[in-house]
């Protein structure tokens, strides 16, 4: 299980870039958070079930996947 991934000095990533799957606090109006996050047992940590990587052409999306 990946909680946080940092890449540096790989292909187009010269400076550190971090992909975090830790969930931030939800707004009170949002409901059904169990569909997008789950609680990691034994900790006080909520994790996202999925993530989306998007950006302009030649911004490093494919290089991030290669680094994973």
> Domain boundaries in the chain?
4-63
SS3 assignment, position 48: strand
The per-residue pLDDT for 16 is 97
- At residue 6, the pLDDT reads 97
Residue 27 has a pLDDT of 63
Structure tokens at 42: 């034994």
Cβ contacts of 67 within 8 Å, gap of 6 or more: 5, 7, 10, 11, 13
Q: What does the pLDDT read at residue 45? A: 85
**How many Å apart are CA 22 and CA 46, to the nearest integer?**
6
**Structure confidence by residue, pLDDT tens digits, 5-64:** 999 999 999 999 999 999 887 665 555 556 778 887 888 888 888 899 999 999 999 999
pTM, rounded to two decimals: 0.74
């Amino acid at each position: 299980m990946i909680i946080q991934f940092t890449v540096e000095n790989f292909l187009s990533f010269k400076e550190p870039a971090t992909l975090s799957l830790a969930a931030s606090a939800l707004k009170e109006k949002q409901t059904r958070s169990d569909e997008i996050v789950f609680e990691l047992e034994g900790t006080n940590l909520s994790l996202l079930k999925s993530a989306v990587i998007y950006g302009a052409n030649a911004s490093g999306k494919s290089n991030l996947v290669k680094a994973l």
